Structure 1
Amino acid sequence: MSARNRLLILLVTALVAATTVTGYVLRSRADSGAGGASGVVRLDTAGQILFRDTAPGAAFGRIASVPLDRPGAPRTTGTVLCDRLYAAHGTGICMQRKGPVPSTHVTVLDRDLHQVRQVKTEGFPNRARVSASGTMLSWTTFVQGDSYLRDDFSTRTSILDTRTGHLVNSIEQIPLTLDGKPYHAADLNYWGVTFAADDNTFYATARTSGRTYLIQGDLRKWTAHTLRTNVECPSLSPDNTRIVFKKRVNASANRPWQLYVLDLATMKETPLAEEHSIDDQAAWLDDHTVMYGLPRHGGGWDVWATPADGSGTPRLLIHDANSPAAVTPQH
């Protein structure tokens, strides 16, 4: 064999070996996601944060969990895929976009991530909430448009009582009192429901004539009334005393919203330290901290947290994640 042929064989062998190693590394990174591992994810395990895994790779979009006291620890990733999720007390909502025509499958999950019920609705997945008891569920889809910055958007918000199985496909027909007077309008939109501990009182956003309102509703009486203006995507604190929400602070599309906390007893608003514009229904990590999804510059999502009293500075909670829900011990 000539020296030239031996050299060619060595080069080809080296190239094959390098390609094999590179492929192995890439596959390993894809399989490992953000340093986690496949495993059993349960919705009723206290002391964890559930979220949607957004790490590039095979686990993208799956429900995952990390310890509540160590959110930077390796994640455990399940098998259920969601575009939006939320969970409480062993009950979960998993929203998935389906088909070329915009539609959403809303799956109610039990503690083992088994399907209990599925509802098909039109539009894109947007918001989801479960009451602290796991009894009341709500979800919102974009039926028209895909951003709250568009003037032509339209939403549909549903409420499901898991005790009775009663489903309200759209809450648009709820009798609304606006500024003390009965109000009816064709352009009324509702989104971002959050439930109180009594599983009867709820809060949400209503929009009409270009203005947004925080509403308080009563499920048994099937009535609602406005509390104040310029409140979007409310989320009630675990102690039921405050609401974190996004407030429109700028007409510009670059930074339209800022997170605020509203004290329901005094109606005092407190701006939070997060300086980025947050387009999310923030969740509560505990009674003193809120968490929310924040897109990264250049792509990807992370979950951040910031103190609920406006102090301190935001901190990265979970890399490559969104749709967080804290599962705490029930008292």
Structure 2
Amino acid sequence: MPEASVVNGLSLRARIAVAAAVTVLLGAVAVGYVNVAASRAETDRATPAPAQTLTLDPGPRLLVVSDRRLAVADPADPSAPRQISGLECVRVYAAAGTGVCIRPDTAWSYQLVVLDRLLRPVKSFPVPGLPNRARVSPSGRMIAWTTFVGGDSYAAAGFSTRTGILDTRTGTMVSTLEDFTVLRDGKAFRAVDMNFWGVTFSADDNMFYATMATGGRNYLVRGDNTARTLQTLTTGVECPSLSPDGTRIAFKQAVDGDPEHGWRLAVLHLSTLAVTTVSETRSVDDQPAWLDTATLAYTVRGSDGSPEIWSAAADGSGRPQLLAAGAESPAMLA
């Protein structure tokens, strides 16, 4: 799925192509979810795995979306049977026993559901637009999400993004990062075309990173949730993912600076801003997840559109390895 940066700063031809593609995509999604709504009674009768065997407890297991269901796979054995829950989700993530599931509510709307370790809903609320990203902080306290929305007059293709953050401990919610104060080169900055997506949290539950797009450029920003500020750090970073040790950012970068050419995975070293390219050569339109301090997981789509989860070394060595066929939205239950 394209990011907001596909729109910003492109030629007229590219903008028209993106607008057409998004129109087709939204139409297909709408038709698909009308069918989903029509068959909801049948699909919701699917028998979930026993609660005692399918949990969000930490362990060497991979949380995924498999055939539109929250599931758990064995990252060491792609052929092993998966534990499939009865929860319908289009995007999942979990950490420290707290999960998030973004699920269809009706044919035209979605809900974000916060889950406890036994997959029981503890909070739910509607989110606007089409779900794109979701993250949980390492402690399980903070949750973030990104959706595509329409209607912003500045958006050349008729859509933009909304990114929000929920503090599950206090209940405080930020509905959009556009309410934060942005500091670019140390000075307050404001523009009508700002878009944000792809939040990733640090271990302290306050600092986070995200992508900001404005004026045809993508920036990596560091956020302070308490101060409600965002500080630009560098450019060319989309869908950041902070490493477990807090020293690196895995991200996707547009080939030759042009999303029409696809994206490649890379790793930014925060201390030096040096970039290492990952060995995966296919286009990856995803927010990567860290399996451990040395390995990334990400979704690649085949020629028929079916998803697969692969892994690759963060230092650029070795070859990508298949983790789970017919699955997407990976999160290691560490």
User: Which TM class, normalised by the smaller chain length?
Assistant: 0.7 to 0.9
**Structure 2 residue 290 is matched with structure 1 residue 284:** yes
1:110 maps to 116
Within 2, Cα distance between the matches of 1:124 and 1:76?
Answer: 26
Counterpart among 78, 96, 101 of residue 94 in structure 1: 101
1:131-158 CA distances to partner (integer Å, 9 max, x unpaired)?
A: 111011000000139xxx9854301111
1:119-138 CA distances to partner (integer Å, 9 max, x unpaired)?
A: 10210010000011101100
2:180 maps to 174
Query: What secondary structure, in the 3-state scheme, does the structure 1 residue paired with 2:227 have?
Result: coil
2:322 maps to 316
Within 1, Cα distance between the matches of 2:49 and 2:235?
Answer: 45
Within 1, Cα distance between the matches of 2:78 and 2:332?
Answer: 11
1:258 maps to 264
Within 2, Cα distance between the matches of 1:219 and 1:253?
Answer: 30
1:256-305 CA distances to partner (integer Å, 9 max, x unpaired)?
A: 21111001111110011111111100000111100101111123111000
1:189 maps to 195
Map 1:23-172 onto structure 2 (within 5 A). 38-39=49-50, 40-53=53-66, 60-101=67-108, 103-144=109-150, 152-172=158-178
Structure 1 residues 233, 150: closer, same or farther in 2, change over 3 A? Answer: farther
* Length, aligned pairs only: 283
Check the 8 A contact 1:143/1:154 in 2, yes or no: yes
1:3 maps to none
Offset of 1:221 from its aligned partner?
1.4
1:168-194 CA distances to partner (integer Å, 9 max, x unpaired)?
A: 111111000112221011111111000
Question: Which ranges in structure 2 are unaligned for 5 or more consecutive residues?
Answer: 1-42
Query: What secondary structure, in the 3-state scheme, does the structure 2 residue paired with 1:286 have?
Result: coil
Counterpart among 221, 230, 239 of residue 233 in structure 1: 239
Higher relative contact order (CA 8 A, sep 6+): 2
Question: Which ranges in structure 1 are unaligned for 5 or more consecutive residues?
Answer: 1-30, 32-36, 54-59
Check the 8 A contact 1:255/1:276 in 2, yes or no: no
Offset of 1:99 from its aligned partner?
2.8
Which has the greater radius of gyration? 1
Offset of 1:45 from its aligned partner?
4.0
Q: What letter is aligned with 2:237?
A: V
Within 1, Cα distance between the matches of 2:328 and 2:215?
Answer: 31
Q: What letter is aligned with 1:262?
A: L
1:204 maps to 210
2:249 maps to 243
Check the 8 A contact 1:290/1:305 in 2, yes or no: yes
Query: What secondary structure, in the 3-state scheme, does the structure 1 residue paired with 2:178 have?
Result: helix
Check the 8 A contact 2:78/2:322 in 1, yes or no: no
Within 2, Cα distance between the matches of 1:47 and 1:306?
Answer: 17
Q: What letter is aligned with 1:256?
A: G
Check the 8 A contact 2:75/2:323 in 1, yes or no: no
Q: What letter is aligned with 2:84?
A: T
Query: What secondary structure, in the 3-state scheme, does the structure 2 residue paired with 1:250 have?
Result: helix
What is the root-mean-square deviation in Å for CA atoms of aligned residues?
A: 2.0
